[in-house]
Structures are given as C-alpha cells and as structure tokens.
Structure 1
Amino acid sequence: MLSKEWKQIEAGNISPVYLLIGTEQYLIDETIHRLEKALQLQDGEEKTIFDLQETPVEALVEESNTVPFFADKKLIIGKNATFLKASDKTKEKVSHQLDYLDEWLDNPSPTSITVFVAPYEKLDERKKVTKKMKQTANVLEVKPLQSNDVSVWIKNEVGKHGKAIEDEAIQVLVETLGTNLLQLSGEIEKLSTFLGEEKTITALIVENLLTRTLEQDVFQLLNAYFKGNKTKAIQIYHDLLRQKEEPIMINALLASQVRLQLNVLYLQNKGYPVTQIAKQLKVNPYRVKLIVESKPQMSEKKLLVAMNRLADNDLELKTSSLKRERILELFLLKD
C-alpha cells in the first residue's frame, strides 16, 4: 500500500516529480486526489492533464515550466507514458523528444508538481529514459493488491465511514467483485450510507445490496452447483431469470467458466503459480486463486462432466420444444 507515501504528501513533503507504475486505477486516482488536496487546488484550477499517447512529452515539460497564476504550485498529469515501455515504433501516434525530457528531469520546475502515469505491469528497464526517470522521480507502485492486503484495505476503507465490517462480509465482497479497489470503494460507500445509524456491515447486507454483473452471478451459481448447494444455485438462477437474462446466455457463460476452471487446473498441475496462470489466461489473479482453492469441489472429472452436459444443454436450448427455463433448471438439479 501507499500509506507512507500518502502521509508524506499530507504532511507537505511533496516531490517535484512522481512516477506511478501499475494498473490499479483506484491507487492512481487517490494519489492524484491527495496531491490536489495538499496543494489546495480547487475545481481543477492549475491542474493540466496530458495524454502522452496523443501529445509529445515536450508539451508537458513546457507547461510544467510555466508559472502558475492562481496557486503557489500547479499539478501536471502525464497519462499513458508509453515511452517508458517496450513499444512498436510503427504503431506510435506521436514522437517524443526524450532528450528534452532527460535534461528537464535534472532540474524540474520548482513551481509545478508533475506526475507521470505508466499504467503497465512493467517498464522497459533497458531504456535510458526509464533509468533516468527511476533515478530522479519519486516512484510509486500502484499495482493490484494481494487478497490479504485487500482485506486490510477494506477494513480501513469502511473505517473511514465510521463503520465496521464482518470478516464474512469481506469474503462476500471480494468473492463477488474481486480486487478492483475502485469498484470496491464505490460499493463500500453505498453500503455505509445504507447502514444509517447502524455500525456493522454484515454478509447479509452485502448479499442484498451488492451491485453484481451477470458474469459474477454466474460464477456464484457455478460455485454453489459444484458444492452441491442446489437450493442456492436454483435461487441465483431464478434471480437471473427475473432480471430477464436468457437461459441460452447463462448456459454459454457457465460453459465459459467451466472451460476457464479446466485451464486453470491444467496449468496448476503443470506447476504454474497463480500469478503466471492469471497472466497466461488473461484473467484477474483473484479469480484464479478462488478456482485453485475450490479444487476439492471441482475435480477435473466433475468439470468435464459439466462441460459435456452444458454442450447438450446448448443443443437442447436451440432445438427442444421443452420450456427453455426448465432445461437449465434440470441441469442444476443433477448430481
């Protein structure tokens, strides 16, 4: 987490240049928000944002060197610092004068705070500009948190609203939403507001109020099915039907989830760690972690049987005269 760095910003110990590396948008937004607050900037005054995919970096440098009118210091944000990662020159939209940037980094403007945002998992460490940026800027990692860190973060975030949260409620939150801090933050604010004078967020409150996507509901449905909890599986299925979701779409998403679980188990058996599996399959690491942890309920044999039944469902849903809602219901009731 960035607690120490944020405390430094709040105390007024602000660096002239920051480099944010990573893909966690909440941490990016929160860092910039704290800089705005520390600089006492109101309503976007003396704050300029450049998209460095579209604008050459020298334009940002020139703006940074311009003296602010309405504040002691201004804030300059450089989004998408593509020149810090390996890239295909033929696909680049703009040419950056990196020598100009290199020279400026030795003596950045004293009247500006400049933030370069590199929303990538890693940078090209061989590049001269990357090395120079890391030597001269205050480098902050804004990467997705591990599941244990997320639990601590949720408790702290809930505490900001003057509330507490049960461990079971945290589990429901993370199982449903994953580790996206921006999404979790919005849901925590909604849950805390709903509580009113009450002090504790329970698992039941989370289950009743949580905003879920169709994919997340299907994931919960499949988990209930493999754990043998037919009542819960049917309940989730009927909830989806009431939301006007089509059985053929639900069936397709179930098949996609089973396919993902088979791929995860295959790679795990090959000795791949969770992070590498997630990267290989291009999914959230927390989803992979949940699949690995539920392995006792979801053996390869069970998954293959389910995949075959879902394939049969697909054909039946497209050709049978039987009521479509009933076809998937029968599938969920089978052992």
Structure 2
Amino acid sequence: MDALKKSIRAGTIAPVYFLYGPESYLKEEVAEMIKTALFPSEIDAAANTHILYGPDLTPGELVSKASEYPMFTQKQLIIVRQFEKIKKPPTKELQKQHEEKFSRYMQNPADFTVLVIDADQIEKKEQEKPPFSTLKMYRKEFPVIKNPDLFASDRAKSSGWEFEPDALKAFTAYIQPSAREICHEIDKIIMYASARTGLKLITAADVLDCVGISRTYNVFELEKALAARNLRLCSGISLMIMDQEGQKEGLGNIVRYLATFYIRLWKLSLPEVRQLPQAEIAKILGMYGKQEYFVKNYLTYTRSFSLSDTERAISALKETDAALKGLLPFPDEKFLLLKLMQKLLG
C-alpha cells in the first residue's frame, strides 16, 4: 500500500484501480488521494467526479459511462462502489456480451477516464470469474488489519509522531482493530498531544485521556493485579471497568485482553521458545514494533502461572465469551465476571 500511495503522490495515476477488501476507510483514502492528484481545485473535483453503485449498472453500462468524454476538462474520475454486487444482464447471451465489452475496455482503457472500482471482500473462487478476473492486473487488496499495533505505529509515524511503548499497548487494547477507528483515534490523540511543546511523542496519559479510560481502573492495572495473583484487586478493577464502559462491553474488553494475555503465556510455556532472542519471541507472541519492549514482562509472568493454570484460564475465557454471545445462560455480567475471576485465580 505504501508503494501505491507513493506513486499517486508522485502523479503517476493508472487508468484503472480495483480496490477490494473489507478495509473501506483505506480504500476511501486512496480514492481521495487520486482525486486530489487529478484535479487542481475542489470545484474541478466536484464537477468531474462521478460516484456509481454496482447494483445499479451492468459491466457494459459501466464501460459506456467510462467511455463518455468529460465536459470542460481533460480527465474525469469515476468511482464505483459495491462492485461485488454488479448488476447482471437478464440473459446468458447478454451477460457474455457485457463481459466481452468489459474485457475489451480493461485491455485498452480510455485515457480521459480514471476508473476506481471498489469492492468488499470477494471469495477466491469468485475472483477467478468475470468480471473480477478481468481486473486482475489492476487489483489492490485491502485485507483486515492483522497487527493493529504495527498499523497504529506506522500511521502515527506517517504524521511525524511516535508512540511510547506503554501508549501503544494502551491504544491497541482499547481501540477496535479497524483502520477507520485506528486512524480517527490517532488524529484525535495527535491534536490533543500537539498542545504540548517538545518531542512528538504520544504518551500513555495522552491515550488514556483521549480514549476516555480511567488512569486507575484499566486493563493494564488489571494485568498487574493478575500477575500478582490478587483475586480481590482483580475483581475490583474489573467491576470498575465494567461500570465505566458498560457491563457487557466492559466485560467483552476484559475477556479479549485476557485471552491475548493467556495465549501469550501458553506460547511461552515451551522452554525452547523462552530461550530464543527477544525479537524472535516477540514475533511468536504477535508483538510488533515497540510492543517488543513488553516481552520481558511476559517472561516474568511465566513464573507466576503454570501450564495447567494457563490452559484452565483459556478454557474459562472461552466459556465466558460463549456466555456473552448468548450461547450459555448466565444471570448477569457481574456474576459472569466474578465467576471468571474465581476460575482464573481462585
């Protein structure tokens, strides 16, 4: 994606872009960059940008639109949303004609049109069928973000800022792992932190203040209490988190965080893993960039939790998650939380 953005900023604009995948925010961002690169002013952009929707037109109709000369300008931008739902002609004969017309255009696209085709997730077998297979040479995938901490760190760096290790840990624990959520929250935190003078560093305090998390009752304090095997403190902090964030949502956040915590401990249960260099251990634990700083914490935690403790905890967390999803009965979230804590530390 960096290469794609770099070429657009340099003014190298392709005649067709096929952007597909679930990360709609990043696709919208690329489309906006193309628009900015094509048109000198917002007035020109508004007059010569056309938004179309897949369910409203067939492949052949899209080609007809793209083949129309723009008025009063050298270029036009056509953005097609929901292309995965492109309308099919009523008969197989017409479908074939439209597919052939679409294929011919993609082999020799108009030089006065930039066509940005946006589709959601498409199954692999569907990608090999027309019209998607015809777009193979223009394909750019925007998959689900697998490493939100790495994405967040890179995003902050692109704005000239850097997360402190504790800040990145706080950020990725509380922000939903979608590009839209991550980017919006980083923008908000940078605006907040910009009031300070000095280094462009995002601190844990910046994150906690902006995301609206208590500095006393949060999952990091819960982690410390858990490592100390303090059942009373763990239960108290967890109940306060649920009061702040909402009973169900708060408990859901606790379960997600603790699932990551215990899965990392489970991975470290093998002596051969613990003996690896810190950078290698970080990769195995799914800790990237500055998150590597916390590997030593997890190595220390392994002294407090045996393999059977860890496996029992993972089983209890799965059970709690199933209850939250309505698969198992429970009287209320507080009961569910206290029962979970008893299983983790009782």
Q: So what's the TM-score if we normalise by structure 1?
A: 0.67
- 1:106 to 2:107 alignment: yes
1:4-62 deviations in Å (ceiling 9; x for gaps): 22221122211111111322223201110110100125263311122213432333222
Asked if 2 retains the 8 angstrom alpha-carbon contact of 1:219 and 1:257, the reply is no
Which residue is equivalent to 1:76?
78
Amino acid at match of 1:104: Y
Structure 2 residues not aligned, in runs of 5+:
90-94, 268-284, 288-294
Matched length: 287
Aligned to 1:189, which of 172, 187, 190?
187
**More divergent stretch after superposition (19-28 vs 186-195):** 19-28
Distance 1:220 1:289 in 2: 18
Asked if 2 retains the 8 angstrom alpha-carbon contact of 1:45 and 1:70, the reply is no
The SS at the match of 1:299 is helix
Which residue is equivalent to 2:13?
14
Which residue is equivalent to 1:165?
163
Superposed displacement of residue 66, structure 1: 1.8
Superposed displacement of residue 197, structure 1: 3.2
Change (3 A) 1:77 1:221: farther
1:43-85 deviations in Å (ceiling 9; x for gaps): 63311122213432333222212222253211111222227xx
Asked if 1 retains the 8 angstrom alpha-carbon contact of 2:153 and 2:168, the reply is no
Aligned to 1:46, which of 45, 48, 53?
48
Superposed displacement of residue 208, structure 1: 2.5
Distance 1:62 1:152 in 2: 43
The SS at the match of 2:47 is coil
1:1-150 correspondence runs (5 A): 2-40=1-39, 42=42, 44-82=46-84, 94-95=88-89, 97-120=98-121, 122-124=123-125, 125-135=127-137, 137=138, 139-147=139-147, 149-150=150-151
1:193-212 correspondence runs (5 A): 193-195=191-193, 196-198=195-197, 199-210=200-211
Distance 2:321 2:49 in 1: 53
**More divergent stretch after superposition (223-232 vs 117-126):** 223-232
Distance 1:118 1:61 in 2: 17
Distance 2:234 2:258 in 1: 22
Which residue is equivalent to 1:279?
none
**More divergent stretch after superposition (58-67 vs 184-193):** 58-67
Percent identity (aligned): 17
**More divergent stretch after superposition (62-71 vs 302-311):** 302-311
Distance 2:21 2:226 in 1: 35
Superposed displacement of residue 149, structure 1: 4.3
Superposed displacement of residue 224, structure 1: 6.6
Distance 2:56 2:221 in 1: 43
Distance 1:156 1:71 in 2: 37
Change (3 A) 1:332 1:22: same
Change (3 A) 1:233 1:46: farther
The SS at the match of 2:52 is strand
Which residue is equivalent to 1:302?
313
Superposed displacement of residue 179, structure 1: 3.6
Distance 1:225 1:111 in 2: 63
Amino acid at match of 2:184: G
Q: So what's the TM-score if we normalise by structure 2?
A: 0.65
Which residue is equivalent to 2:154?
153
Asked if 2 retains the 8 angstrom alpha-carbon contact of 1:144 and 1:180, the reply is yes
Distance 2:286 2:109 in 1: 43
1:168-179 correspondence runs (5 A): 168-179=166-177
Give me the CA root mean square deviation: 4.5
**More divergent stretch after superposition (233-242 vs 57-66):** 233-242
Amino acid at match of 2:27: I
